[in-house]
Protein backbone atom coordinates (compact mmCIF):
# COMPACT_ATOMS: atom_id res chain seq x y z
CA UNK A 1 0.00 0.00 0.00
CA UNK A 2 1.33 3.41 -0.94
CA UNK A 3 1.87 5.76 1.94
CA UNK A 4 -0.20 8.52 0.37
CA UNK A 5 -2.79 7.76 -2.26
CA UNK A 6 -4.66 10.04 -4.57
CA UNK A 7 -6.86 9.39 -7.54
CA UNK A 8 -4.66 10.44 -10.45
CA UNK A 9 -7.63 11.66 -12.47
CA UNK A 10 -8.04 13.53 -14.63
CA UNK A 11 -10.93 15.08 -12.75
CA UNK A 12 -13.10 17.30 -14.89
CA UNK A 13 -15.37 19.90 -13.27
CA UNK A 14 -17.51 22.63 -14.87
CA UNK A 15 -16.63 26.23 -14.10
CA UNK A 16 -18.40 27.50 -11.00
CA UNK A 17 -18.91 24.05 -9.50
CA UNK A 18 -17.20 22.55 -6.44
CA UNK A 19 -14.13 20.44 -7.12
CA UNK A 20 -13.44 17.74 -4.54
CA UNK A 21 -9.98 16.20 -4.28
CA UNK A 22 -9.32 13.25 -2.01
CA UNK A 23 -6.30 11.72 -0.34
CA UNK A 24 -5.78 8.76 1.99
CA UNK A 25 -2.69 7.95 3.99
CA UNK A 26 -1.41 4.81 5.66
CA UNK A 27 0.62 6.13 8.61
CA UNK A 28 -1.90 6.48 11.44
CA UNK A 29 0.55 8.61 13.42
CA UNK A 30 0.79 11.31 10.77
CA UNK A 31 0.23 14.76 12.22
CA UNK A 32 0.36 17.29 9.41
CA UNK A 33 -1.25 17.41 6.00
CA UNK A 34 -0.55 19.71 3.11
CA UNK A 35 -2.09 20.53 -0.24
CA UNK A 36 0.11 21.82 -3.05
CA UNK A 37 -0.90 23.00 -6.50
CA UNK A 38 1.35 22.43 -9.49
CA UNK A 39 0.79 24.00 -12.87
CA UNK A 40 2.20 22.19 -15.88
CA UNK A 41 5.96 22.75 -16.14
CA UNK A 42 6.10 24.61 -12.81
CA UNK A 43 7.07 23.69 -9.29
CA UNK A 44 4.55 22.89 -6.54
CA UNK A 45 3.22 25.79 -4.49
CA UNK A 46 1.54 25.49 -1.11
CA UNK A 47 -2.22 26.05 -0.98
CA UNK A 48 -2.84 25.22 2.66
CA UNK A 49 -2.09 22.85 5.50
CA UNK A 50 -4.18 21.30 8.25
CA UNK A 51 -3.28 19.67 11.57
CA UNK A 52 -6.56 19.21 13.39
CA UNK A 53 -9.62 17.13 12.60
CA UNK A 54 -12.38 19.06 10.89
CA UNK A 55 -12.46 21.79 8.29
CA UNK A 56 -10.11 24.65 7.59
CA UNK A 57 -11.14 27.35 5.15
CA UNK A 58 -9.00 29.77 3.17
CA UNK A 59 -10.87 31.75 0.57
CA UNK A 60 -12.35 29.37 -1.98
CA UNK A 61 -10.38 26.45 -0.56
CA UNK A 62 -11.43 24.18 2.29
CA UNK A 63 -9.28 21.38 3.65
CA UNK A 64 -11.00 18.59 5.55
CA UNK A 65 -9.22 16.14 7.83
CA UNK A 66 -10.52 12.94 9.36
CA UNK A 67 -7.69 11.22 11.23
CA UNK A 68 -9.86 8.27 12.29
CA UNK A 69 -10.51 7.45 8.64
CA UNK A 70 -7.00 8.55 7.58
CA UNK A 71 -8.53 10.80 4.99
CA UNK A 72 -7.87 14.37 3.91
CA UNK A 73 -9.64 16.30 1.19
CA UNK A 74 -9.54 19.64 -0.56
CA UNK A 75 -12.66 21.39 -1.77
CA UNK A 76 -12.45 24.22 -4.28
CA UNK A 77 -15.61 26.31 -4.44
CA UNK A 78 -16.61 28.36 -7.47
CA UNK A 79 -13.99 26.60 -9.59
CA UNK A 80 -12.22 28.75 -12.16
CA UNK A 81 -10.28 27.71 -15.28
CA UNK A 82 -7.16 29.01 -13.51
CA UNK A 83 -7.65 26.24 -10.95
CA UNK A 84 -6.77 23.69 -13.63
CA UNK A 85 -3.59 22.07 -12.33
CA UNK A 86 -2.28 18.99 -10.58
CA UNK A 87 -3.02 18.93 -6.84
CA UNK A 88 -0.56 17.14 -4.58
CA UNK A 89 -1.43 15.84 -1.15
CA UNK A 90 1.51 15.58 1.26
CA UNK A 91 1.76 14.06 4.72
CA UNK A 92 4.30 14.31 7.51
CA UNK A 93 5.07 10.77 8.69
CA UNK A 94 5.54 10.10 12.38
CA UNK A 95 9.04 8.82 11.60
CA UNK A 96 11.07 11.56 10.02
CA UNK A 97 8.68 14.40 10.69
CA UNK A 98 10.90 16.90 8.90
CA UNK A 99 10.08 15.33 5.57
CA UNK A 100 6.93 15.23 3.51
CA UNK A 101 5.61 12.19 1.68
CA UNK A 102 3.72 13.12 -1.45
CA UNK A 103 0.88 11.43 -3.26
CA UNK A 104 1.05 11.11 -7.02
CA UNK A 105 -1.26 14.05 -7.52
CA UNK A 106 -4.69 14.52 -9.06
CA UNK A 107 -4.96 16.36 -12.34
CA UNK A 108 -7.90 18.75 -12.26
CA UNK A 109 -9.43 20.39 -15.32
CA UNK A 110 -12.03 23.15 -14.99
CA UNK A 111 -14.18 23.41 -18.09
CA UNK A 112 -15.49 26.87 -19.03
Question: What residues line the site for other proteins (CB under 8 A)?
Answer: 8, 31-34, 42-46, 49, 51, 88, 90-92, 97-100, 102-105
DSSP code at position 23: E
Question: Is residue 47 reached through a cis peptide bond, with omega within 30 degrees of 0 on the bond before it?
Answer: no
Closest approach, Cβ 50 to other proteins, in A, equals: 10
Neighbours of 102 (CB within 10 A): 16
CB of 75 to other proteins, least distance (A): 20
The nearest distance, CB 44 to other proteins, in angstroms, is 5
Longest CA–CA span in the chain (Å) reads: 43
Residue (of 99, 83, 91, 103) closest to 37 by Cα position: 83
C-beta closer to other proteins: residue 77 or 99: 99
Do 60 and 77 meet the contact criterion of CB atoms below 8 Å apart? yes
By beta-carbon proximity to other proteins, the closer residue of 45 and 57 is 45
What is the smallest separation between the CB atom of 94 and other proteins, expressed in angstroms? 8
Would you say 22 or 32 has its CB closer to other proteins?
Answer: 32
Amino acid sequence: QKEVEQNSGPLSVPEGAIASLNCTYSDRGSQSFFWYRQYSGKSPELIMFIYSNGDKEDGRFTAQLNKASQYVSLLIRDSQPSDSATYLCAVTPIQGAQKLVFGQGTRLTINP
